[in-house]
Structure 1
Amino acid sequence: MSSTPLPPSTQLSRREALGVLGGLALPLAGLPLSAVAAENSGPAASPPAIPPVTGNPPDLANLHAPLAWLAGVRGPALSFLDSRWRDLETWKREARPVFHRQLSYAPPAEPLGATLVSREERAAFTVETVRIRATAAYDIPARVLLPRGRRGPLPAVIAMHDHSGRYVWAHEKVLSAASDSEALAAFRADAYDGAWAEALAARGFVVLVSDAFYFGARRLRVEELDPARAAGDVRAAIQTARTARPGSSEWMAAIDRTCGQYEHLTAKTIFAAGATWPGLLVWDDMRTVDYLLTRPEVDPARVGCAGLSLGGLRTAHLIAADPRIKAACVTGWMTEFAAQLRNHLRHHTWMAYVPGLYPALDLPDAAALHAPGALLVQQCSQDRLYPMSGLQGAIAKLARLYAKAGIPERFRGTFHDVPHCFRAPLQAEAFAWFERWLA
């Protein structure tokens, strides 16, 4: 989900931004596309077709046509569906280094370890707050949920929080605390029907939740910005962040508004520093895997990851980058990028784009680097963040990719007649997936 403001004529409320009324619900909602998986494991088709010129005019007007043409002629040439690839492992040995190279972020790491900050006992699990050593510049704050009364080593899942334009919260989006505000509880209930990291821990999984760069404990310190040097449309918000009571609704709104506007400058600065925003997220998430595998409670052969929205994209990128993940669930962020070009890039964060990757790999191609790992993709049919053609095309392509690899049963793509969310019915499907492949 993006924080990028829309023009007044298309301004969405928060609930709408979570995916209200996409208007195109599939008749096979909730069913796997196993039939598609069996259709084609042969040579790749032509470059991705550009969606026909129908509906709303292109967001870039006259500039759309040459850019759509460019996407059609340039990518993705390294897809496993190309006829030159016959063996999955051979393809992965060539494709995964390309993915890592385009991420452009491999900093010198500090010696692996973590500092225990606190421990909290709850009825079904213990919550440990830790700081994972990462680089000389920063640590990664995380929470580890350890099921009580279970004999280890146990399966583990990395729970990825979403974007949602809410920067004050990070792990709090999927893990509750006694100090939660009414606003946080309401957000969590709307998007998740509650704290899903806890529900998974109650089933016997070790769960790790970290604060991603730019969120929670790692957000932009808006209070330290000088309003006089800021753009005019956020000066008032910065001033409010400096004077309002921390935690108040006014303070949170000011923080979130300013962080949303400052994504542009943050992305420019990351690029100018020689990195990419997805690269930073992926490296940090891989570092949490490094740490998780040092825990005696965790079985290193049974590690998964899951997330909604930005958490779903982080999941897709992590499974492309790290073969140690054995099962995954991507919810609310799986599409074909060519389908996004006409009208659906404006809704998304800078955190989604890996510069230069598309000529080699589209997002489904990258996610297929997870094979033979088990992959569940959940699409929300009322989701306004993606065109239905992109949602359907991504599922169909992943089904073909897994079928060509000879393991169609290890991929499942489902459509749910809901807005952009990871509510209880989707969680039930995801948890059953992890119990099938990890437990």
Structure 2
Amino acid sequence: MQPSPRREFLKAIGTGSLALTGGMSAIGNAGPFVAAQKVAAAEMPADLPVEQAPANADLGSLYPVVRGLAEKVPYPYSFLSGRFASLAEQQAAGREKVLEAFGYRPAAVAPNAEVVSRQEFPEFTREKILFSTSPQFRVPAYVHIPRGLKERGPAIVDLHSHGGMFLFGKEKVIDFGTNHLTMKTYHERNYGGRPTTTELVKRGYVVITIDAFMFGERRARFAEDQELGSNRGDYSPATVDLLNRKCRSKESTLAKSLIYAGICWPGIITWDDMRTVDYLVTRPEVDPARIGCLGVSLGGWRTIFLAGLDERIAAACVVGFMSTVQPMIERHINTHSFAHFVPGLHQYLDLPDVVALRAPRPLLVQQCRQDGLFPVQGMEDSVTKIAAIYERAGAKEKFAGQFYDVPHQFNVAMQDDAFSWLDRQLKPT
């Protein structure tokens, strides 16, 4: 009697001749397995018809289902919803919804800052500090102070980007003179070769930048990494690439672990950014009424939430991160980090609604028309929506949206426009 295809299949598994975890190449060579599939398929009815998804939709045939669910969301906590009697009422309710979605409101702590090191340069002083943002976290940061300050001056919270670079965080926006080779390349690609912190301090701003959670000195490190030592400046580009890939592979692990802890990763990032303002207002060089923030990419996302939640931010510049969220579902999900997704939030507020929680305070949004991270329609609609909110708030002139015909970046021309705008908002005439 001839052995059955099923028996041959089981025998192949037992002898290890089928590498089932090896991908389609192994399956393609598994004759008995193919035969078994054909027998099973002949006994099954055809699949039910499904709605055809647009080509390249991130979710394939499931995209129309999710699109249908998203279209039912009216963003009831938007100021444009008409639900609230006043701007103040809407903003209080909207901020509460954001914080609820974060699931993260640790006990208040004093910054208790300590200076780790101090360097003097002709135009500024650089301090590396540690300060507390919660009972669990002591956060490393750099503070740049212009030389020759005679009175309290304006300050900027400079929020670093993502860019797949986990090994460095706060260093992404700083020119150290002699920079790590990977940072030199990163600065050129993302900042037009001009890191923003160093330029801003030269313009007279006190500037602080921290490591966001999972970046720089707060990245995930593993036992086998210890042999590399703790001086990142000594790492080769190949080592930096290796460690970046390891951290990237743990993004979903971090996000899922924090969900089990009852909180979300974006909540920690934004909370730390708000507590950075707590520290900044303790500095004797800083005028608390003249604090701004800016950032590109993840830094732009961080600006949306910091500026929307913290009323002490007098002027905010969002760069390379603004879109209505529903158009992103089709094919702009896989381009984004887990750091950008807040569970449950978009039942209530769209991204433009979040940043518009700061109205009527000044807001600049800079976007790149060739930015592959966002749909153009979503970017354009977001500016239209923010403008409508500001107009309804009686502050039409306090919002500006600018488009640049470039890919995802914060180049020198964009920086010059942003810095001039910040000067007009934060420096007395």
TM-score w.r.t. the length of structure 1 is 0.82
- Please say which of residues 72-81 and 297-306 is displaced more in the overlay: 72-81
1:273-284 alignment runs, 5 A limit: 273-284=261-272
What is the Cα deviation at residue 355 of structure 1? 0.6
What is the Cα deviation at residue 189 of structure 1? 1.8
1:374-385 alignment runs, 5 A limit: 374-385=362-373
Provide the rounded CA distance (Å) in 2 between the counterparts of 1:286 and 1:372. Answer: 19
- Please say which of residues 89-98 and 329-338 is displaced more in the overlay: 89-98
- Please say which of residues 154-163 and 82-91 is displaced more in the overlay: 82-91
Give the corresponding residue for 2:309: 321
What is the Cα deviation at residue 71 of structure 1? 1.0
Provide the rounded CA distance (Å) in 2 between the counterparts of 1:155 and 1:389. Answer: 35
Provide the rounded CA distance (Å) in 1 between the counterparts of 2:67 and 2:224. Answer: 41
What is the Cα deviation at residue 55 of structure 1? 5.8
Gaps of 5+ in 1: 1-52, 226-237
Checking the alignment, whether the CA contact within 8 Å between 2:291 and 2:426 is kept in structure 1 is yes
Provide the rounded CA distance (Å) in 2 between the counterparts of 1:61 and 1:345. Answer: 12
Give the corresponding residue for 1:347: 335
1:38-77 alignment runs, 5 A limit: 56-77=55-76
> Aligned residues, how many?
374
Provide the rounded CA distance (Å) in 2 between the counterparts of 1:84 and 1:257. Answer: 46
- Please say which of residues 92-101 and 313-322 is displaced more in the overlay: 92-101
Give the corresponding residue for 2:376: 388
Alpha-carbon deviations, 1:50-90, whole Å to 9, x = none? Answer: xxx99634221221112111111123111101123352112
Provide the rounded CA distance (Å) in 2 between the counterparts of 1:386 and 1:369. Answer: 22
Of the three residues 267, 274, 288, the one matched with 2:276 is 288
Give the corresponding residue for 2:109: 110
Tell me whether 1:438 sits opposite 2:426 in the alignment: yes
1:297-376 alignment runs, 5 A limit: 297-376=285-364
Provide the rounded CA distance (Å) in 2 between the counterparts of 1:199 and 1:420. Answer: 20
Relative to structure 1, is the Cα distance of residues 240 and 291 closer, same or farther in structure 2, using a 3 angstrom cutoff?
A: closer
Provide the rounded CA distance (Å) in 1 between the counterparts of 2:66 and 2:147. Answer: 54
Checking the alignment, whether the CA contact within 8 Å between 1:241 and 1:251 is kept in structure 2 is no
Give the corresponding residue for 1:425: 413
Checking the alignment, whether the CA contact within 8 Å between 1:99 and 1:320 is kept in structure 2 is no
What is the Cα deviation at residue 107 of structure 1? 1.3
What is the Cα deviation at residue 285 of structure 1? 0.5
Relative to structure 1, is the Cα distance of residues 257 and 149 closer, same or farther in structure 2, using a 3 angstrom cutoff?
A: same
Provide the rounded CA distance (Å) in 1 between the counterparts of 2:373 and 2:245. Answer: 20
Give the corresponding residue for 2:397: 409
1:191-340 alignment runs, 5 A limit: 191-193=190-192, 194-224=194-224, 247-340=235-328
Checking the alignment, whether the CA contact within 8 Å between 2:53 and 2:60 is kept in structure 1 is no
Give the corresponding residue for 2:38: none
Relative to structure 1, is the Cα distance of residues 223 and 189 closer, same or farther in structure 2, using a 3 angstrom cutoff?
A: farther
One-letter amino acid of the structure 2 residue matched with residue 208 of structure 1:
I
Relative to structure 1, is the Cα distance of residues 313 and 164 closer, same or farther in structure 2, using a 3 angstrom cutoff?
A: same
Give the corresponding residue for 1:27: none
Provide the rounded CA distance (Å) in 2 between the counterparts of 1:373 and 1:202. Answer: 25
One-letter amino acid of the structure 2 residue matched with residue 196 of structure 1:
T
Tell me whether 1:127 sits opposite 2:126 in the alignment: yes
One-letter amino acid of the structure 2 residue matched with residue 151 of structure 1:
K
One-letter amino acid of the structure 2 residue matched with residue 103 of structure 1:
F
One-letter amino acid of the structure 2 residue matched with residue 97 of structure 1:
E
What is the Cα deviation at residue 274 of structure 1? 0.7
Alpha-carbon deviations, 1:216-240, whole Å to 9, x = none? Answer: 1101104547xxxxxxxxxxxx999
What is the Cα deviation at residue 152 of structure 1? 2.0
SS at match of 2:72: helix
Give the corresponding residue for 1:43: none
SS at match of 1:258: helix
Alpha-carbon deviations, 1:77-127, whole Å to 9, x = none? Answer: 111011233521121122211111111111124333201111111121111
Give the corresponding residue for 1:40: none
SS at match of 1:73: coil
Provide the rounded CA distance (Å) in 2 between the counterparts of 1:138 and 1:76. Answer: 34
Checking the alignment, whether the CA contact within 8 Å between 2:291 and 2:314 is kept in structure 1 is yes
Alpha-carbon deviations, 1:136-155, whole Å to 9, x = none? Answer: 32201011110112322101
Provide the rounded CA distance (Å) in 1 between the counterparts of 2:319 and 2:85. Answer: 29
SS at match of 1:123: coil
Relative to structure 1, is the Cα distance of residues 197 and 245 closer, same or farther in structure 2, using a 3 angstrom cutoff?
A: closer
Relative to its length, the structure with more helix (as a share) is 2
- Please say which of residues 84-93 and 366-375 is displaced more in the overlay: 84-93
Task: Give the percent of matched residue pairs that are identical in Structure 1 and Structure 2.
Answer: 39
SS at match of 2:208: strand
SS at match of 2:347: coil
SS at match of 1:157: strand
Provide the rounded CA distance (Å) in 2 between the counterparts of 1:371 and 1:245. Answer: 42
Checking the alignment, whether the CA contact within 8 Å between 1:161 and 1:308 is kept in structure 2 is yes
SS at match of 1:326: strand
Root-mean-square deviation (CA, aligned residues, Å) is 2.0
What is the Cα deviation at residue 303 of structure 1? 0.6
Give the corresponding residue for 1:7: none
SS at match of 1:156: strand
SS at match of 1:358: helix
One-letter amino acid of the structure 1 residue matched with residue 206 of structure 2:
V
SS at match of 2:346: coil
TM-score w.r.t. the length of structure 2 is 0.84
Gaps of 5+ in 2: 1-51
Checking the alignment, whether the CA contact within 8 Å between 2:296 and 2:321 is kept in structure 1 is yes
Give the corresponding residue for 2:154: 155
